[in-house]
Amino acid sequence: MKKYELELYVEDLFFSQNKQKSPISVLNWQEYYTKWLNILELDLSQDKTYEISLLLTDDKEIKALNEQFRHKNQPTDVLTFAALEADFPDNDFLDTISLGDVIISVETAEKQAKLQEHSLKTELIWLASHGFLHLLGWDHPDDDSLLEMLTQQKFLLDCVGIESPIIDDFFVTS
Q: Looking at the chain, how many residues does it have?
A: 174
- Decide if pLDDT at 172 tops 50: no
| pLDDT for the residue numbered 62 | 98
Domain locations in the chain? Answer: 5-170
Query: What global pTM score does this model have?
Result: 0.90
CATH topology of domain 5-170: Collagenase (Catalytic Domain) (3.40.390)
Looking at per-residue pLDDT, the higher value among 169 and 161 belongs to 161
- Decide if pLDDT at 33 tops 90: yes
Where in 13-158 does DSSP place strands (E)? 49-57, 78-82, 96-105
Confidence of residue 165 (pLDDT cuts 50, 70, 90): low
Name, in order, each residue with C-beta under 8 angstroms of 46's C-beta and a sequence gap of 6 or more: 2, 3, 4
